[in-house]
Amino acid sequence: MTDQELSCFFVRELFPLKTESGSGLDTHRIQKIETHLAACKKCRDYYSKLEKARATVIDLAGTKPSPAMISYLKEEHHFWKDTLAAWGWKRWPSTLKWAVELSVTTTVLILTVHYFPWLRLARTVQNMRPAAPVVVTAQTPEPAPVKIQTSETPGPEVQAQMQAQPTESPGLIAKVTPISKEEASDAETTAKEEENPQTAGVVAKESEQKMLGFVWRGSLKVDELNDEVADHVSKVIRDLGGTKAGQVELGWRRGKQRYYHFILPEDNYEKFLSVLNELGIVQLTQERHQRTIRPGHMRIIMTVEESEE
């Protein structure tokens, strides 16, 4: 063999032969391996680990399991079967067995009903449902009854006086409908906001006594309503190109609710619903309205409130 130095790969290939007693390596190759180990730290560490592993295998070769361990390993073991056998379950009276089984079943049901995330499951199911397309028919609607909003129910004399008054238009029906204070506050806020001149470029001129436009009304119910959630909804509206349609700011606090009145591009409506579904349960319905919106946009009036659960 020449005096050329051996490579790390070749030396590590010869390690198993060097460790065996009575190996077929000649003295010259063993000397070459020793010279390489003296100069290469990585090969020395590799050889040291190999020697330790070899010693461990030799020690394990002398270990013999006891007959009891061999017998235990040959048998099949089941946790509940062994536990019941240790408790003597088969010797228990039937009445006691039924009582224990009923108690366990009741406990499992109570824990499932109390701790199972039912609200999260409802959101997941709602997100899996495809969005229903909104079909708008180009038909001339009939004049809608006028709804006189009041926070109190008028007396019989006032109703009789109103019914006796002639209407200005033969197709217009005057109808007195008592509404709650919350609805009156909502209507007052909407009417106040619609006077905002900032949206004059989007909201068209009000048509006379004809419901030609549409508005989306609804609510978003969340687990916990705080400033962080309200600001996040406002940011999502602005990021999707939405602009406020009233004098109050987006997320205006109204009692325990947050109020949003804005105009959103129709192309971003699906993205907006997707974000709301991640926050809670959203419900938006389309309604007729006297004001029309510029094509490609939609007006939305919604509140954010905490769910009753």
What DSSP assignment string belongs to the chain? --SPPPPHHHHHHHHHHHHSTT-S--HHHHHHHHHHHHH-HHHHHHHHHHHHHHHHHHHHHT----HHHHHHHHS---HHHHHHHHHTGGGS-HHHHHHHHHHHHHHHHHHHHHHS-HHHHHHHHHHHSPPPPPP-----PPPPPEEE--SSPPPHHHHHHHHHSPPSSTT--EEE----HHHHHHHHHHHHHTT-GGGTTTB-PPPSS---EEEEEEEEEESS--HHHHHHHHHHHHHTT-EE-SSSPTTEEETTEEEEEEEEEGGGHHHHHHHHHHHSEEEEEEEEESS-B-TTEEEEEEEEEE---
Note the pLDDT tens digit of each residue in 257-272: 899 999 889 888 888 8
Check residue 137 and give its pLDDT.
53
Q: 168: pLDDT confidence band, cut at 50, 70 and 90?
A: very low
> Averaged over 78-95, what is the pLDDT?
82
| Per-residue pLDDT reduced to its tens digit, 14-50 | 877 765 554 567 788 888 888 888 889 998 898 888 8
pLDDT at res. 176: 38
- Position 106 scores a pLDDT of 93
275-292 average pLDDT score? 84
CA distances from 250 to 176, 190, 195, 233, 236 (A): 32, 13, 16, 9, 11
φ, ψ at 86 (rounded to 5°): -65, -30
Residue of higher predicted confidence among 26 and 187: 26
What per-residue confidence (pLDDT) applies to 162? 53
The mean pLDDT value for 284-292 works out to: 81
Highest mean pLDDT among 17-31, 122-136, 230-244, 282-296: 230-244
CA–CA distance, 95 with 111 (Å, rounded to integer):
25
Give the model's pLDDT for residue 143. 57
Tell me which of 108 and 146 has the higher pLDDT.
108
Q: Which pLDDT value is given to residue 13?
A: 83
The residue ranges of every structural domain in the chain are: 8-61, 128-306
Does 172 score more than 50 pLDDT?
A: no
Lowest mean pLDDT among 116-120, 203-207, 269-273: 203-207
Question: What integer is the mean pLDDT of 104-119?
Answer: 88
Higher pLDDT, 109 or 1: 109
Comparing 100 with 145, which gets the higher pLDDT? Answer: 100
pLDDT greater than 60 at residue 174: no
pLDDT at 104: 92
* CA-to-CA dists, residue 168 to 173, 203, 256, angstroms: 10, 27, 41
Strand 297-306 and strand 243-244: pairing?
unpaired
Beta bridge partners of 261: 301
Section 118-137 average pLDDT: 73
CA distance 58 to 166: 113
Instruction: Return the SS3 of 296.
Output: coil
